[in-house]
Amino acid sequence: MACRFLKISRSGYYEWVGRPPSPRTIADEALTATIRQVHRDSRGTYGAPRVLAELRLGLGIHVGKKRVARLMRLDGLTGVSHRRKRRGWKPDTATHEDLVKRQFRADAPNRLWFCD
């Protein structure tokens, strides 16, 4: 029924099911294992660019950056990201009561104390 719905032959389906994995799939599995090890060695902090640098410079494996990113994404591996603050960022409003009423000048010494 599924073969009829998908408009494929039964023999084509069974040939596809019984087919051994391609050389590319086998190479991807081996590379994914290496990527997992590099990611684990970095304590889970390296993203695709650093894993790529470690593979190329540290291990001498010639591989493309998009392939590393794809394999990491499929395996669920992510790095730690420290993004810069956005332009125009403003802090949230204070969550405590303003007892000074924004008047920072004291009448005499040791009369007004405030801290961050």
- 3-state SS class at 64: coil
pLDDT higher than threshold 70 for residue 36: yes
Q: Give the residue among 75, 1, 6 at the shortest CA–CA distance from 34.
A: 75
pLDDT of residue 108: 82
Question: What token pair was written down for 93?
Answer: 């409003």
User: What integer is the mean pLDDT of 19-48?
Assistant: 93
pLDDT of residue 86: 66
- 3-state SS class at 115: coil
- To the nearest whole percent, how much of the chain has pLDDT over 70? 84
| CB 10 within 8 Å of CB 3 | yes
pLDDT of residue 25: 94
Distance between alpha carbon 79 and the CA centroid of its chain, in Å?
Answer: 4
pLDDT higher than threshold 70 for residue 11: yes
Residue with tokens 């794809």: 70
* Confidence band for 44, pLDDT divided at 50, 70 and 90: confident
Dump strand ranges (E) for 34-93. Answer: none
Instruction: Give per-residue pLDDT as tens, 54-99.
Output: 999 999 999 999 999 999 999 999 888 777 666 766 666 666 777 7
| DSSP-assigned states of every residue in 19-42 | PPPPHHHHHHHHHHHHHHHHHHHT
